[in-house]
Chain A
Amino acid sequence: GESVGLHLPTLSVQEGDNSIINCAYSNSASDYFIWYKQESGKGPQFIIDIRSNMDKRQGQRVTVLLNKTVKHLSLQIAATQPGDSAVYFCAEGANYAGNMLTFGGGTRLMVKP
């Protein structure tokens, strides 16, 4: 899920399959995590968030999993649709930092019909 250099990681899935997008975060003191979706030509949109006192949270077709031991966050999208094609960013924040968000590099999800 994290970007390396100038290359955006890409995940290609078949329509109807489940997607899993991963993110490794850096700050062990982070206590708030968000997933954003950014479609081409638009600003990022909130998808789902999770606090550090939880390890799983579900929304509509999306689930976020948090593993604090290895500082890993994942976004699962059920029954992926063409409209899910976008770049997905994870963000971490910490109360001591005024909940300032630090963003990962993003992962591009491409859904094949």
Chain B
Amino acid sequence: DVKVTQSSRYLVKRTGEKVFLECVQDMDHENMFWYRQDPGLGLRLIYFSYDVKMKEKGDIPEGYSVSREKKERFSLILESASTNQTSMYLCASSLVPGPNTEAFFGQGTRLTVV
């Protein structure tokens, strides 16, 4: 059974803190993604990675960075958390382009910045 695991379900952090959100997938997928989800705005892509040590900006990368040191792990970093980064964060993975290109999602991390 495919699995994408995010390290935390809920996090509360203070403004200015450095925050790490971790994501691990066990499907040997090349592509990994970080989205944030806000009410009425759907899923917005922050960053994605198509290979180890490779990263590409998504639609809203400002205030975030990522790290992909190993194929199975993709980390999202908030260098200095701000209240407008309070959101649900979703990690996903998928195969490189092919017959099955659906993305598999983790359960989400609800981050509150106070």
Contacts and interface: CB of A to CB of B under 8 A. Distances in A.
Interface of A: 3-8, 32, 34, 36, 41-46, 49, 89, 91, 93, 95, 98-101, 103-106
A98 B108 contact: no
B97 A99 contact: yes
A7 B104 CA distance: 26
Interface in B68-114: 90, 92, 94, 96-97, 101-108
Contact of A43 (B31, B102, B107): B107
Nearest to A44: B105
B43 A6 contact: no
Given A3-B41, A89-B43, A32 B107 contact: no
B104 A32 contact: no
Contacts of A5: 40
Given A6-B40, A7-B40, A100-B45, A46 B107 contact: no
B45 A6 contact: no
A76 to B, nearest CB: 19
